Amino acid sequence: MTAQHQSNPAMHSAPEHVALPAPTAWPAVLALGLTLMAAGLLSTNIVSVVGIALSLVAGVGWARQVLPHDRHEMVAVSAAPVQIATPHRKVTRMAAVQAAPHRARLPLEIYPISAGIKGGLAGGVAMAVLAMFYGIVSHGSIWYPINLLGAIVYEHIDVSTAQVEAFHIELLLVATVLHLATSVLVGLLYGAILPMLARRPILLGGVFAPLVWTGFLHSILDIVDPILNQRIDWWWFLASQIGFGIVAGLVVVRQVRIPTWQYPLAARAGVETPGMMDEENNHS
């Protein structure tokens, strides 16, 4: 980093004198004249007359300054070259240290986005199977949980259990869309979070998170949607959540990991930073 002691090279050679516009009183006098013209409207006409006279004189004076040629004064140019220097330079470029990153950026590896999608879909299948199994065991109908899910989008009307057990095509479609979308989104979340969980990712992601989520839903659903709440068997709900978590987690961890960028954006962009140079002696 020797740049700070360099004179500016991108300059043409300097002349000895530079022509600059000479100081002139006429613009200020013209402004005063116009102001007095206006001030006459606030006081007496004599002020305006003075203002007009002053403006005329200033106008002529100004014209004589610029006609036929602008009046200039020659200013001597200082011969000393201008140093572009920062007295206490505190930064240097990170690019220089790219070979040996001074700190690892965690996580070192991540799953690709496709891993999350695959895990989510697999988990979704597992969850659906568990839920339909519950439907058969408790109500003898696989449509029961599907209708409950699909009915989220409808106005809350109290219906008989027989209606919930029957087959409804529109509820099936709504439930499928909802289930797939949620499964993929949660799967993506798992793919992103799992590498950050240092130990027992399956336990944390597959068991602990569904437990917390179920507890949360259990505590608020009575307020949000009491009719739906009456029809939910929370143990089965928890079981299907855990099923999703474990299956999704297992699928995700089987995918190939990709290494993360170890250089921060700043290093890749050639950004300067403090703390990488001997600031006391002002060089790196």
Partner 1 sequence: MSAIPAAMAANEAPWKLPSRGRVGMLSLIIAESAIFTIFVAAYILYIGKSISGPTPRQILSVPIFITVCLLSSSLTMHWAVAALRKGKTGSFALFWFATLALGAIFLIGTGREWHHLISQEDFTIQTNLFGTTYYSLVGLHASHVLVGLIALAIVMILALLGKVKCEHWERCEVLSLYWHFVDAVWVVVFTVVYGLGR
Partner 2 sequence: MAIPKSSRGVVSEWLFTADHKKIGLMYIVYSLLFLVIMGIEAILMRIQLAHPHASFMSPQAFNRLFTLHGTTGVFFVAMPILFGFGNYLVPLMIGARDMAFPRLNAFSFWMTAFGGFVLYASFFAGGSFLQGGSAPDVGWFAYAPLTSTTYSPGHSTDYWTLSILLAGVGSVGGAVNFIATILCMRCPGMTLGRMPLLAWMNLVMGGLVLVTISPLTAAQIMLMVDRYMSGHFFDTAAGGSVVMWMHFFWIFGHPEVYVLIIPCFAFVSEIVPVFSRKAMFGYPAMVAASVGIGFVSLGVWAHHMYTVGMPSYGNAFFVLTTMIVGVPTGIKIFNWLATMWGGKIRFATPMLFCTGFLFQFLIAGLTGIMLATAPFDWQLSNSYFVVAHFHYVIVGGILFTIFAAFYYWFPKMTGRMLNETLGKWHFWIMVIGFHLTFDFMHIPGLLGMPRRVYTYEPGRGWETWNLLSSIGVVFQAAAVLIFVYNMIQSYFKGAPAGNDPWDAWTLEWATTSPPPDYNFAAIPEVRSRRPLWDIKHPEDPDWKYE
The distance from CA 224 to its chain's CA centroid, rounded to whole angstroms, is: 32
Q: What whole-number distance in Å separates Cα of residue 32 and Cα of residue 28?
A: 6
Residue 240 φ/ψ, nearest 5 degrees: -70, -30
Which residue ranges make up the site for partner 2 (CB under 8 A)? Answer: 3-4, 6, 8-15, 18-28, 30-32, 34-35, 38-39, 41-43, 62, 65-66, 69, 71-78, 82-87, 89-91, 93, 95, 264-266, 269-274
Number of residues forming the site for partner 1 (CB under 8 A): 6
What's the token pair of residue 206? 């597959």
For partner 1, which is the closer residue by CB, 42 or 67? Answer: 67
Which range, of 2-10, 206-214, 225-233, 251-259, touches partner 1 by CB under 8 A?
2-10
Which residues 60-99 are close enough to bind partner 1 by CB under 8 A?
63, 67-68
For partner 1, which is the closer residue by CB, 9 or 259? Answer: 9
Residue 42 interface partner, choices partner 1, partner 2, none, CB cut-off 5-8 Å depending on type: partner 2
20: β partners: 73
Q: How far is the CB of 53 from partner 2 (least distance, A)?
A: 17
Burial of 32 (0-12, 13-18, 19+ CB in 10 A): middle
Q: Measure the N-to-C terminal CA separation of the chain; round to a whole number of Å.
A: 7
- Does residue 53 interact with partner 1 by CB under 8 A? no
For partner 2, which is the closer residue by CB, 69 or 199? Answer: 69
What's the token pair of residue 236? 């089965």
Q: What are the E-state strand segments in 40-153? A: 72-76, 92-93, 109-110
Q: List contacts with partner 1 (CB under 8 A).
A: 6, 9-10, 63, 67-68
